[in-house]
Amino acid sequence: MTKHKKKQSNPWKYPKLVLALGLGIVVAFSSISYVSLRAPDLPSPSLKDLAAKHGIDLGMLVYDHKLNDRIYPDLVRDQFGLVTIDGGAHFKELRPSETEFDFSTSDTIVAFAAANNMPVQLHHLIWGDRIMIPKWLEQGNYSKDQLRAILRDHITKVMQHYKGRVREYSVVNEAFTEAQHLYGLRSFYGDELGYEYELLDDYFRWAKQADPDAKLILNDFNNETKNKVSDAMYVYIKAAKARGVPIDGIGMQMHINASNIPPKQALLDNMKRFGELGVSIYITEFDINSNSVKQSEADKDKLESRIMYDVTRACIESKVCKSMTVFGLTMKNDLVKKLTRANSRDLLFTSRFEPTQAYFGLRQAFSE
């Protein structure tokens, strides 16, 4: 018996059917994409408006490559009152060579801020960590006088480029942590020029000359409570103010390890003692690392909400805290994940832009 092969149908004989199926698939995928990227339905008033009632600017670390996303820029604009640049404006990123400046990344972020009437805080003019030092500078065998001239030129040109567009600068970052060689940190500038704190005077004076209207911040790590770092900063600030050094504020990075939570009163007392020296407090890089905490995810959510609440209340109650920058909208693509905390959890929003318990802890603190 002869077996006949089953005749294969040719779908292209029915172009209307193929077109309909194709459009259906496209619509289906578009709908899925739309749902996954839907903006969160957040309560009113916004976080920034709640913070403003206390005289505090709530800031957000902003990335240029995220500004083309569908939801990210709107969420930043609607919920935050300060744009912080920490990535795209470091020495290594701005200086491909001794004679060149590349402002393309930071210009994009500053333009976004200007379009939305948001002030800008820029990090960091001077940061000695060797990962932020370009090879041409590290291997240039410059004399001390030459290196000082390069740093003065850098401060001057960056601040003049953004004069009137950047409100405040982290002029120096982690100088006190590096000077004490804590956590294995060392400074390229300290190794080359010395670790005397008085060298910082010049950085602030140069900055003041470049833009007399900008607020100038001395930023550091692990200085949120009374300890070796904050004590050294306190001694320096007191003497520097007596010398007329134009330092407007102390930057507290506020990278909180949830396994070693600073008490709210300790935060508050430390902020107040700096305020008594005539400087303001800026929380510049606030995030929470709960990776080492042996708790359920639900319990970690509650813990992070409480930490967010306590830090925010300390900022409010100190009466000297001018701004608080949260170091990333979500943890999915943010700097802290890339550099230090590969498994960190979400911050104020999940990767799907859903508010976390930390968001509600922050909201509660500003609402009271």
What was the pLDDT predicted at 252? Answer: 99
More confident residue, 332 or 224: 224
Least confident of 224-233, 280-289, 349-358: 349-358
Tell me the pLDDT tens digit for each residue of 73-87.
Answer: 999 999 999 999 998
Structure-derived torsion over alpha carbons of residues 238, 322, 324, 68, reported in degrees to the nearest 10: -120
Q: Is the pLDDT of residue 183 over 80?
A: no
Domain that holds residue 111: 46-367
Is residue 222 assigned to a domain?
Answer: yes
CATH code of the domain in which 265 resides: 3.20.20.80
> Is 304 tagged catalytic?
no
What was the pLDDT predicted at 184? Answer: 72
Selected catalytic residue, list 168, 224, 285, 304: 285
Least confident of 186-195, 317-326, 342-351: 342-351
Tell me the pLDDT tens digit for each residue of 230-264.
Answer: 999 999 999 999 999 999 999 999 999 998 999 99
Is residue 185 assigned to a domain?
Answer: yes
What was the pLDDT predicted at 227? Answer: 97
Do 365 and 54 form a contact (C-beta atoms < 8 A)?
Answer: no
Tell me the pLDDT tens digit for each residue of 33-53.
Answer: 334 456 788 999 999 999 999
Is residue 298 assigned to a domain?
Answer: yes
pLDDT band at 180 (very low <50, low <70, confident <90, very high): confident
> Is 98 tagged catalytic?
no
The per-residue pLDDT of the chain, averaged, comes to: 88
Is residue 12 assigned to a domain?
Answer: no
Is residue 6 assigned to a domain?
Answer: no
Q: Any residues with CB less than 8 A from the CB of 220 and at least 6 apart, and which?
A: 173, 174, 175, 176, 177, 229, 233, 250, 251, 252, 253
What was the pLDDT predicted at 331? Answer: 64
What was the pLDDT predicted at 265? Answer: 99
Selected catalytic residue, list 174, 178, 224, 304: 174
Q: Distance between CA atoms of 8 and 295, rounded to whole angstroms?
A: 59
Is residue 8 assigned to a domain?
Answer: no
Q: Which amino acid is at 265?
A: Q
Q: Is the pLDDT of residue 13 over 50?
A: no
Please give the structure tokens belonging to residue 177: 């942590």
Catalogue the long-range contacts made by 354-360 (C-beta closer than 8 Å, 24 or more residues apart). 354/40, 355/40, 355/42, 356/301, 356/304, 356/305, 357/301, 357/302, 357/304, 357/305, 358/288, 358/301, 358/304, 358/305, 358/307, 358/308, 359/47, 359/308, 360/305
**Number of domains within the chain:** 1
Q: Which amino acid is at 297?
A: E
Is residue 5 assigned to a domain?
Answer: no
Is residue 303 assigned to a domain?
Answer: yes
